[in-house]
Amino acid sequence: MRTAAHHPLELSLAPRLRAGETLRGLFNGIPSPALVEMCGHAGFDFVVLDNEHGSADLQTTEHQLRAARAVGLPALVRCFEADIPRVLDMGAAGVVVPMVQDAAQAQRLATMTSYPAADTPWGRRGSAFSTRAAGYGAFGGAAHTERSNAGLLLVVMVETPEAAAHAVEIAQVPGVDAVFVGPNDLAHAMGHGPRWQDGPAQALIRQVLREVAGAGRCAGTLALTAADEARYAACGARFFANVSTSLITQALQAAARGGDAAVSY
């Protein structure tokens, strides 16, 4: 008999985010289901499959979503607007959309991530129950519509000074669940190149986090160290992400220098 345990959608992240929890995840652009599975065993709260900068095609993305579901790891997909319908139908727990510039763009994205219903009158997502997200028909119908509208997340990224000026308006768009500040692109757009630790870039990052959190919305950003997380948490951020390639490269470099690694065989 089919049960919720067999459902292809892993939607445990949304209620935790909306309850105000601090959440820690990982951007992963390496097209490896095994690595995604490892992230779940490591204890991350979520993974973001990075289809903006990563090399996965859609079929590999779907396999990564299966691996995440196997270990109970909520998996979002960072993707461009045109790919939103397909990654949601493949069973993503939500999407992270880069370079959102204003509230009008955020509203358009919200229409794409929700089905039209009484609680989501803005929704315009196309409905099909033959997809993996609906169990290829096994979990289709009204229950799928309700489950998806309640459990899928829309995270929008603020990555330019122009977007930063509209961050509160973006955050308050119905259907937007979190605003994530992209520090590297923001620093580049400000003329600092990759130096997002420069004073002016840091000041704007913290300003956006404070404004979004102050408006009662979830704010997030990269936190590559415990010090980063503490700094941004003091501004109200509670949705943090590291980067798999950064962590792996650091571990490999340490091993290459003869450092110890906490690995059990």
Active-site residue set? 53
DSSP reduced 3-state for 27: strand
Question: Do 76 and 46 touch, CB atoms closer than 8 A?
Answer: yes
Contacting residues for 44 by C-beta, under 8 A, at least 6 apart: 24, 25, 26, 73
Q: Whose CA is closest to 154, among 108, 199, 191?
A: 108
Length of the chain: 265
DSSP reduced 3-state for 187: helix
**Which two structure tokens, joined as six digits, stand for 13?**
């992240």
Helix axes 199-214 and 226-233, enclosed angle (nearest 10): 50
